Chains A and B, each alone.
Chain A
């Protein structure tokens, strides 16, 4: 395959391409960077990423991603804020300390994202009005007693944290050329995963049958709404690789070892239940 010829052809058909590619020299440099060991199977992926520089993400898309993240962070922050304000819900000591730590992180994420959106030239979304019962504004959703029932509170917290992890993961590919935003998003993503792990340990200490990681698509929560958040986590094939075929790795281990992303549409389908307006 003659890549120089392909680039020339593309340039003839789309003269503005080189401007978007920065310069053709840059494109060639990028291609040189790919390395001589590149297998042919990897070439389309490599070519795709190179041309994404020319036809890639606009600032508008980045702001969209950040506003989407901001909406979810508002949801988490206000959920924990309300829980901590609910007298007698969270035991004093370690549980109260942990939830306070998590709430403070979610609030910091809200502030950070608002600032990031503004500096990217965008406008932060207005904070939604939430219905934490999951009833879309009726107040009578399946989690209506989450602020008086500690077990249910922890279950919703787990669902929200695991959703957050999947939501950020689902946006990583959209930020592949936005290094600063990508790194920030990754640095929030792993903090959400730390939260999820701890909440799961809190649930386990209260008798729930869960581990810090997700086994198959088990939520450990008996609720069909919540199940949508876990569907797909049972995946055992990564890239082209069937993990269970690599020695003696069970399907449970293969699913636990990799967390799965959710698309924006999948996340919003769940998050909408918590929106009152």
Chain B
């Protein structure tokens, strides 16, 4: 539920009144009595929304986390699809085989989220790969490293927002595959960097990232603005 959709009816056309109130604290406030909560629950109407042009709203609750993952998988799948379509110069047969595997994994992840989310799924994102030189091994592998490390950090950082044990396990099933990708890509760039201190801290823990930091890092590659306000 996008609570902001509700504000005109609740606050008599003073959206600025709630604009400064964080969504969570607003929910806490709205939940002050059962009656108000019921009103909030039943008062939501799709047609009250005025969508921001180009904005993709991930939604709320577990669906927001799944849509967040779906957005990142869309980005990765689109990237590797291009990598295989226009292979960098000097690519080896082994690299073609394993990068094709990675493309196929990301497509499987993307299609899984699309199917699992059904009508709750966000639309297709518009990607921007203008900064990538697909003919250059260096450019492609460094971008791949960025995406894979970011994907791992994103899943790890978003786990705490998931309330369903089943969805959490599903995220776990995917993130370890992303970590396998990340380690492989890093070793292609420089053997032995599969888990170096730019991604693993002194406790031996992956440095996870919260959604705001992830989306900021992904923003140069995505034309849409992503509203992840539920994941804060």
> When A45-B166, A246-B108 are in contact, do A194 and B179 touch as well, CB less than 8 Å?
yes
Q: Let me know if A213 and B105 touch, CB within 8 A.
A: yes
A168 CA to B169 CA, complexed, in Å: 10
Q: In the assembled complex, how far is the CB of residue B170 from the closest CB belonging to chain A, in whole angstroms?
A: 6
**Cβ of B90 < 8 Å from any Cβ of A?**
no
Q: Let me know if B183 and A197 touch, CB within 8 A.
A: yes
- In the complex formed, the residue of B with least CB distance to A235 is B173
Q: In the assembled complex, how far is the CB of residue A185 from the closest CB belonging to chain B, in whole angstroms?
A: 9
Q: Let me know if A239 and B176 touch, CB within 8 A.
A: no
How many A-B pairs with Cβ below 8 Å?
252
- In the complex formed, the residue of A with least CB distance to B104 is A253
**Cβ of B187 < 8 Å from any Cβ of A?**
yes
Size of chain A's interface in residues, with CB distance under 8 A?
80
A184 CA to B159 CA, complexed, in Å: 10
Q: Let me know if A259 and B206 touch, CB within 8 A.
A: no
Q: Let me know if B165 and A173 touch, CB within 8 A.
A: yes
Q: Let me know if A246 and B115 touch, CB within 8 A.
A: yes
**Cβ of B177 < 8 Å from any Cβ of A?**
yes
**Cβ of A224 < 8 Å from any Cβ of B?**
no
Q: Let me know if B208 and A186 touch, CB within 8 A.
A: yes
> When A101-B192, A169-B172, A189-B172 are in contact, do A246 and B204 touch as well, CB less than 8 Å?
no
Q: Mark A39-82, 1 if CB is under 8 A from B, else 0.
A: 10000011011101000000000000000000000000000000
**Cβ of A212 < 8 Å from any Cβ of B?**
yes
Q: Let me know if A36 and B163 touch, CB within 8 A.
A: no
Interface residues of B (CB under 8 A from A): 1, 27-28, 30-32, 34, 37-38, 40-41, 44, 59-63, 98, 101, 104-105, 107-109, 111-112, 115-116, 118-120, 152, 155-157, 159-160, 162-184, 187, 191-192, 194-196, 199-200, 202-208
Q: Can you list 15 A-B pairs with a CB-CB distance of less than 8 A? A: A37-B1, A49-B164, A186-B208, A189-B176, A191-B200, A193-B176, A193-B180, A195-B195, A198-B194, A238-B170, A247-B111, A250-B104, A253-B108, A258-B173, A258-B174
